[in-house]
Amino acid sequence: MMRLFVAVDLDDRIKEDLTVVRRELAVTGANVTSRQNLHFTMKFIGEGRPELAVKKLKAALAGQRAFTAEVMGIGGFPDDKRPRIIWAGAPELLGLQKKIITAFGQGGEDAVPHATLARAGKPDPRLSSIISRHKNASFGFMNVKTVKLKNSVLGHGGPVYSDIASFDLA
């Protein structure tokens, strides 16, 4: 069993465009996601068998065409006023995410595709100010042409992600 999730990696240009926001978040003491770990979470599966997840993803992504998505806006979970997780969004990923969630048939219907930029250990009013400043910012467009099944291993230095399988979109 592995700790699995489905993701779309951010391209390098988008990662660069998010650097300013990530630096602002770091000043607050938030735990900023490392550049190499930036991705859009499409579905957190949890403990599971990779071969079963691969089978479900193949079916879900059959015929799915590559597309362009705008990385736009910053938000917070559980909300923007007292965020514990600060994320960037990409509304065009919703359709793809819905297909993936449906394939797994296990909750997450109200999930939002998001790229976690930072995690806050405690509430800080500066975080909501950063979110407010960048709420409608565009961080550029990216080609969504690959979906990945990833494994997450939690460690003292933060999570370590590895690719289990890649699915190229038509």
Q: Residue 23: exposed, middle, or buried by beta-carbon count in 10 A (0-12, 13-18, 19+)?
A: exposed
| pLDDT tens-digit readout, 80-126 | 999 999 999 999 999 999 999 999 986 666 778 899 999 998 889 99
User: Rounded to 5 degrees, what are φ and ψ at 58?
Assistant: -55, -45
3-state class of 52 per DSSP? helix
Average model confidence (pLDDT) for the chain? 94
pLDDT at residue 105, rounded to an integer: 83
Alpha helices, DSSP H, located in 111-167: 125-134
| Lowest-confidence region among 80-89, 130-139, 148-157 | 148-157
Residue 78 has pLDDT above 80, yes or no: yes
Question: How far apart, in whole angstroms, are the C-alpha atoms of residue 104 and residue 76?
Answer: 25
pLDDT at residue 84, rounded to an integer: 94
Question: How far apart, in whole angstroms, are the C-alpha atoms of residue 28 and residue 42?
Answer: 27
Q: In the CATH scheme, what is the code of domain 2-168?
A: 3.90.1140.10
What are the residue ranges spanned by the domains of the chain?
2-168
Output the six-digit token pair for 170: 């038509």
| pLDDT tens-digit readout, 18-33 | 999 999 999 999 999 9
Percent of the chain with pLDDT over 90: 88
| pLDDT tens-digit readout, 6-17 | 999 999 999 999
Contact 114, 97 (CB under 8 A): no
Q: Residue 156 — very low, low, confident or very high, per pLDDT cuts 50/70/90?
A: confident
